[in-house]
Amino acid sequence: MSKRAKKFWLIWDRIGILCILLTVMIVFGILDSKIVSPTQLLTALNRAAVSGIAAAGMMFAICAGGFDLSVGSILSLTSCIIAVQLTDGKSTLFAIVMAFLAGGVCGIINGLLITKLKIQTFVATLATQLAFAGVTLVYCNKAIQLTSKVNTQLKFFSTGKLFGILPMPIVLLVIAYVITYLVYNFTSFGTKVRAIGSNESAARTTGIKVDVTLILVFVVTGVSAAIAGVLNTAQVSIGDPSLGEGFELDAITAVVLGGTALSGGKGNVFGTLVGAILVVFVKMGLNILGAGEAYQKLAVAIVLLFALTINGIKLIMEKGDK
């Protein structure tokens, strides 16, 4: 591979997904300028906050070489917990703390199954997905409307404006990604996660406490799903046991679009964020254009395949290089 090509791929790894997003934006902008109006872009960011925050957690799991398919169920569970606690008259803070605790506990369960019972992450979290969904229904079997009386404080997370201008979901999204970026790049935890994803047995040999780190990874995923749950609940003002169905695939799609390798070891924080926005944006644009659900699905599939095909071309070129 020539130096130029190498440079191209290096740049592509960093901002390729951003290019795709910009292209999509331009195309939509030509079709209907409303879609790229500032307010609508803000709406897109607002909306991307939910899947984006969960994707940030998911990125750690994928970077460590695993998956977490149970985030959807965790999101439902936290949504129900918040609704039940709030309608019981508990304070918003208490409800949110409970939700985070639940997310953390679910993460610990996942982590223990994976490290102690050595179940592969895919099937372990597939089973817990079922189990957590069941637990949610046992705990709370119907949607609970959060009336404005109990919801004022919670609503702050979805409509509140920090310092009067910054919409909260976007603030949360940015904070989440700044933290993720710092944790991923500048803490021993982030380094260890990359090390485990890169070569697990070597990580063990080096003396990293792999099990502890992995459990932590799933706690991070669980808690980030819980944050997403709080935000989503605030947005729709409803505690619903089926709120998170299919949510895990959204999060994974965002991470993969962002350029994080499924084989582990290599994450892309910025890309994940852009990936989450891209998925939301494509769906939103088509919604505004009035294209049906089928076309939205097709569009997301095509974007996904396109991004990964380019990645595939890179792999093929690199292989030819060897």
Partner 1 sequence: MEKKRRFHIEYGDHGILYALIIFWIVLIITNENFRGLAFFQTILTKASLNAICGIGMTFAVISGAFDLSIASQVALNGVVLTLILPKIGIFPSIIVILLLGVLMGTINGLLISKLRIPSFIATLAMQMAYRAVAQLINSSPVVVDNSGFKKMATYKIAGIIPTAFLICIILGIIGTIILRKMKLGRDILAIGNSQEAAIISGINVAKTEIMIYLIVGLFTAASSVMIVSYLGSSNYGMQSGLEFTVISAVVLGGTALIGGKGSIFNTIVAAIFLISIRSAMDSFGVDSYWQRVVEGVILIIAFSITEIRNIINTVLVKRKARKQLSVQKVSK
Partner 2 sequence: MKLRFLFPVKQVRIDQIKKRRVNMKKVTSILLAMMLMLTLVSCGNSSGETTSNTTSDTTNDTKSTGDEGGSANTGNYTIGFSVYDLSNEYFQSMMEGVEAAAEENGVTLITHDQKSSESELVTGATNLINQGVDALIVSPCKPEVMSTIVDLAKESNIPVIILDIGDGGSDKDAIVVSDMYGGGQIAGKYALSLLEADSVTEGEFAIIKCEESAVYAIQRGEGFKSIMEEAGFTLATELVANSDTTEAYNAMQDILTSYPDVKVIFAENDNMALGAASAIDEAGKTGEILVFGFDGNESAVEAILDGTMSGTIAQQPVEIGRLGIELAIQRINGEELEFDNPDTKEIYADVYLIDSTGEANHEFTVE
Partner 3 sequence: MAYIELKNITKTFYGVKALDNVSLSIEKGEVHAIVGENGAGKSTIMKILGGMYFADSGEVHIDGNKCSINSVSDALKHGVSVVYQELNLMSELTVAENIYLHSLPQKVGIAVDRAQMNKNAQALLDEMDVKFKATDFIRMLSVSEQQMVEIAKALSHNSEIIVMDEPTAALNDKEVETLYRLIRKLKKENKTVIYISHRLKEIFDLTDRLTILRDGSYVGTYVTKEITQNKMVEYMVGRKIAEYYTTAEHEPGEVILEVKNLCKENVYQDISFTLHKGEILGMAGLMGCFREEIVKTIYGLLQADSGEISLSGKKINPKNPLDAIAHGIGFVTEDRKQAGIFGLMSVRENLTINVLDRISSFFWIKGDEENALLDHYTKKMNMKYNGYYQKINSLSGGNQQKFLLARALASNCEVLIMLEPTRGIDVGAKAEIYSLLEDLAKQGMAIIIVSSELPEIISNCHRTLAIFNGKITGDISKEEMEEAFIMQCATGNKIHLGGEPA
Q: Note whether 23 binds partner 2 by CB under 8 A.
A: no
Binding window for partner 1 (CB under 8 A); candidates: 77-85, 110-118, 166-174, 206-214: 110-118
For residues 263 to 292, the per-residue mask of contacts with partner 1, x marking binding by CB under 8 A and - elsewhere, is x----------------------------x
DSSP SS3 for 196: helix
Exposed (0-12), middle (13-18) or buried (19+): which is 296, by Cβ within 10 Å?
middle
CA distance 108 to 102: 10
- Report CA 283 to chain centroid distance, whole Å: 16
Among 287, 312, 315, 316, binds partner 2 (CB under 8 A): 287
Phi and psi of 146, rounded to 5°? -95, 105
Q: Are 280 and 47 in contact (CB under 8 A)?
A: yes
Q: Note whether 311 binds partner 1 by CB under 8 A.
A: yes
Q: Are 266 and 194 in contact (CB under 8 A)?
A: yes
Q: Note whether 305 binds partner 1 by CB under 8 A.
A: yes
**218-245 in b/e burial notation, b at 16+ Cβ within 10 A?**
bbbbbbbbbbbbbbbbbbbbbbbbebbe
Q: Which does 105 bind (CB under 5 to 8 A by kind): partner 2, partner 3, partner 1, none?
A: none
Q: Which does 153 bind (CB under 5 to 8 A by kind): partner 2, partner 1, partner 3, none?
A: none
Q: Note whether 105 binds partner 1 by CB under 8 A.
A: no
Footprint of partner 3 (CB under 8 A): 182, 186-188, 191-192, 194-195, 197-199, 201-209, 265-266, 322
Among 21, 50, 99, 135, binds partner 1 (CB under 8 A): 135
Q: Note whether 161 binds partner 2 by CB under 8 A.
A: no
CA distance 217 to 222: 9
3-class SS letters over 264-322: CCCCCHHHHHHHHHHHHHHHHHHHHHCCCHHHHHHHHHHHHHHHHHHHHHHHHHHHHHC
- Residue ranges binding partner 1 (CB under 8 A): 113, 117-120, 122-124, 126-135, 137-138, 141, 249, 252-253, 256, 262-263, 292-298, 300-302, 304-305, 308-309, 311-313, 315-316
Residues near partner 2 (CB under 8 A) are: 32, 34-35, 37, 39-40, 43, 47, 50, 64-66, 114-115, 118, 120-122, 137, 141-145, 147-149, 155, 158-159, 200, 214, 232, 235-238, 240-243, 245, 262-264, 283-284, 287-288, 290, 292-293
